Amino acid sequence: MRAMILAAGLGTRMRPLTDRCPKPLLPVAGQPLIVHHLARLHQAGITEVVINVSYRAEQIIAALGDGADYGVRIAWSREETPLETGGGMRQALGLLGGAPFLLINGDVWCDLDPTRLALGDGDLAQLALVDNPDHHPVGDFHLAHDGRVHAEGEPRLTFAGISLVDPALVAAEPQGAFALAPLLRRAMKDGRVGGHHHRGQWVDVGTPERLAELDRRLRD
Domain coverage including residue 175: 2-219
State pLDDT tens for residues 162-191. 999 999 999 999 999 999 999 999 999 999
| 147 pLDDT more than 80 | yes
- Total count of residues recorded for the chain: 220
Is beta strand 101-105 parallel, antiparallel or unpaired with respect to 2-6? parallel
Burial 179-210 (b: 16+ CB within 10 A, else e): ebeebbbebbeeebbbbbebeeebbbbbeeeb
Number of domains, the chain? 1
Separation CA 89–CA 169 (nearest Å): 10
State pLDDT tens for residues 100-119. 999 999 999 999 999 999 99
Is beta strand 73-78 parallel, antiparallel or unpaired with respect to 125-130? unpaired
Q: What is the CATH number of the domain that holds 13?
A: 3.90.550.10
State pLDDT tens for residues 39-85. 999 999 999 999 999 999 999 999 999 999 999 999 999 999 999 99
| Residue 57: per-residue pLDDT | 94
Burial level of 141, CB count in 10 A (0-12/13-18/19+)?
buried
Q: Read off the pLDDT band of 12 (50, 70, 90).
A: confident
**Strand, helix or coil at 88?**
helix
